[in-house]
Chain A
Amino acid sequence: MSFEHRDDTGDRFGMWLFLYTEVILFSGLFILYAIALTTYPQEYITASNKLNIWFGAANTVVLLTSSLTIALAITAIQRNQIRLCISLCVATIGLAFVFLINKYFEWSHEISLGIYPASETLRDMGPGVTSFFNLYYFTAGLHGLHVLIGATLITVVAVMVAKGKVTSDRYVLLENSALYWHLVDLVWIFLFPLYYLII
């Protein structure tokens, strides 16, 4: 009864539509950031200086590299190099976890200083700094959640590559996962300067 139907362009088209929705999801937080930055420009610089720029820079390098590995994974499957493709997927997942572990240490450090949503320390620093750290935690948190979802997605695809369900002539699922991963990367490319580099 089922009707076999295949259209890779349509699958990619659907994924792009989904990525639009993700951009708009984050844009709500970017709007809040923009308004708060114009209201408290001085406080935002003070708050930004409290962040450790090296954590952010390291994570930027990690994510950019992971975007490269997942892009290479697509080239690998196009050339039917299945093992290489799987290794590159695993490398991407590994980098995703490096990102999250890095984030964990960064947040632990800040929380140990008493900087977390609704904390006493934060309240004493005034509304501008509080708003910076609230947005920082929620935006980076939402982004971290996306890193986790992306890594899960790539894990599933890697298993399907290993099982031969994603192959050199049918790899749109890998492409779509890679598109998602690039979006995760892209969002971070905006978060990094907005939170770590304002002077």
Chain B
Amino acid sequence: MTKTPLTNTGFYSESPRSGVLGWLLSTDHKRIGMMYLGCITTMFIVAAALGLAMRLQLFTPGQHIMTAQTYNATFTVHGIIMIFLFIIPSIPAAFGNLLLPIQIGARDVFFPKINLLSWYLYIIGAILAVLAIFTGTGAPDTGWTFYVPFSTQTSTNVSLAALAAFMLGFSSILTGINFVTTIHRLRAEGMGWGRLPLFVWTLYATAWIQVLATPMLGITLVLVMLERFFGAGLFDVASGGDPILFQHLFWIYSHPAVYIMILPAMGVISEIIPTFSRKPLFGYWAMAISSLAIAFAGSLVWAHHMYASGMSDFAILVFSLLTFIVAIPSAIKIFNWISTLYKGSIELAPPMLYALAFILQFAIGGLGGLALGAAAADIHLHDTTFVVGHFHYTMFGGTGFAFFAALHYWLPKFTGRMYNHKIAFIAWGLLFVGFNTTYMAMQAVGIQGMPRRYYDYLPEFQTLNMVSTIGSWVLAAGLIVMFVNLLNGMRNGRPIRMNPWGGATLEWQVPSPPPMLNFGKEDPVVTRGPYDYKGVKADEF
């Protein structure tokens, strides 16, 4: 295929500064979004490689490629990078920045300079995290949860890793403040709350969690650092502290954080399903309100991570009940997506395939969550690889696949070029099969009793572990094919016009890639809803 030059280069060529500084000092939301996308994808590949190494160690029992200490450091660093540097910022920071202003008809976010500051804080956090691995007394080995007392006593580089997470938290808070303010103050004329695309609604719910929950992580990590530096011991029984309190404070943030991870993913799916069904989203308000309901109810369930910590039975009962309540708005979403598909004119384009895989995998992960939320089942499943399988189903099978769906859906918009669809289908097939093999086997072996975070295991767990590891190879092959295809599409793909998919939201009414000010000199006036497909046609490409 010969490369066709783009007739329109949009925000890539319009900038007050040229060259690298035009990116590093740019306050344009699209440039910042693309920088986030690059960094986040890199971090994902690094952490995925660590995950593959762990699976390789677990291929057969015994020590092969890593020692117990290396294995501990590997799952810790895999967790820290995946959670704080990939999933939390993945969709909100990268796609949120790229799309939020355009989707509400604005020229930029409300605080563009603070937006750039968030990006720099992200980069500082990333650098500190990498330094924590390679400098000092060895990579942190506490798991991404930094549980005390181990995290205050281990000689490894926990302080630096905690500082990295603190910085990333600060970055996340500033993005949250920016998005809430943007959605309140910068909607274009005619863009009422009832016309917001669902992606914006989920970003809104997410941003509130970022604002209200993240500071709790900040103070908790600061206290761990203080304990390490001054030996003061606010979580130390001998000094009148309580290690269980650390778990409470940590999960007060970190449980809502899983909704920071999943809500924007649900927003992505809510955009893709209607576009490729050629039907308005079923139950718009139910979808919008359920996003806020998940954010609210999800903030009250943190102690369901601690059933085995010696909490009172009454507390367990309350948190178990609240956990079940979160399933209601989540189920509303699943049913509404399926109702949107019903009798739709479904087109199985690559983004749609990822979205459908999301629904299946998120449903499996969500139902597994109910098994863990029930106290009786949790006592058996606690700290087994079932838990690991469960959250990979929601976080990777859910958010990860939604991230891939978003890449396939929106990347052409921002690069102006389309990737190869046939290869995208192959990549999707490999990812789908590889993912489900890896993590279903992991869940199954967890039910049999295999504990998580162990580098070695009993011989009876070998078959399922081998299946899981082989699945991880298929998964890795899928990732390689997908990223190569997307990268190739960005550079050499066929140029597209405004609306390759026939979407009705505002980003499909501006050129691809969009110009610096998004809508030219005139402010846009919105006259139709986000899922009103009447008269909207997809461009040929």
Show the binding face of A for B, using Cβ within 8 Å. Answer: 1-3, 5, 7, 9-10, 13-14, 17-18, 20-22, 24-29, 31-32, 35-36, 39-40, 43, 117-118, 123, 126-132, 134-135, 137-138, 142
Contacts and interface: CB of A to CB of B under 8 A. Distances in A.
Nearest to A40: B240
Interface of B is mostly: helix
Interface of B: 14-16, 107-108, 110-111, 173, 176-178, 180-181, 184-186, 211-216, 218-220, 222-223, 226, 230-234, 237-242, 245, 248-249, 516-517
Contacts of B212: 20-21, 24
A19 B288 CA distance: 26
Contacts of A25: 215-216, 218-219
A1 B231 contact: no
Given A31-B249, A128-B240, A138-B232, A21 B181 contact: no
A35 B215 CA distance: 19
A9 B110 CA distance: 11
Contacts of A32: 234, 241, 245, 249
Nearest to B180: A17
Nearest to A127: B240
- Interface pairs A-B: 5 shortest CB-CB: A131-B240, A127-B240, A28-B219, A117-B232, A10-B185
Contacts of B14: 1
Contact of A28 (B185, B186, B216, B238): B216
Contact of B237 (A1, A31, A127): A127
Nearest to A5: B107
Contacts of B237: 127
Contacts of A39: 240, 242
Given A21-B177, A134-B240, 9 more contacts: A7-B110, A10-B110, A20-B211, A26-B219, A28-B223, A39-B242, A129-B240, A134-B233, A135-B234
A30 to B, nearest CB: 10
Nearest to B15: A1
Contacts of A28: 215-216, 219-220, 223, 249
Contact of A117 (B15, B173, B176, B230): B230
A11 to B, nearest CB: 8
Contact of A35 (B213, B218, B220, B245): B245
Contact of B240 (A2, A10, A36): A36
A152 to B, nearest CB: 16
Contacts of A18: 173, 177
